[in-house]
Amino acid sequence: MTRGGITAALLASAALLSGCAEVGNAVDQGSRTADKVSACTEALGLADLNPLVDPAKLKERAADKERRLRELAGNVQDQDVKNALLGMAGSYVEVQKERIEDAGVVAGWVQRNVKKLDALRAACG
């Protein structure tokens, strides 16, 4: 192979490797986006809580939702989504500590949780 041919082959290899890096970056970005969408979808599905059930069962459900939201936060790269998920998880900690039998407590929690849910929707959008 001539010197010019070797140079052309090296340049073609460099271009190919550069293209691979760009594809790799695009795949990574796509994976992060998929993780974000998946986390947002699951979190929005967790955002309900029926205060009309037995208080012990309500607290058990709140503990499960908190755990699942924290797991989602641990698996998502987007910091805004992570913060919103942790904020929602914190609201379910509140449920576990409150006297759920009191309708005023439930109403206050619902108002606070709606704001956290709005923050999650904004981060996911």
Give tens-digit pLDDT for 59-101. 888 899 999 999 999 999 999 999 999 998 998 888 777 776 6
What percentage of the chain's residues is helix, strand, coil (to nearest 5)? 85, 0, 15
* Cβ 95 vs Cβ 50: under 8 Å: no
Could you tell me the two tokens for 6? 């070797």
* Cβ 120 vs Cβ 43: under 8 Å: yes
Whether the full predicted model's pTM is greater than 0.75, yes or no, is no
Give tens-digit pLDDT for 17-59. 555 444 444 444 445 555 888 888 888 888 776 666 677 888 8
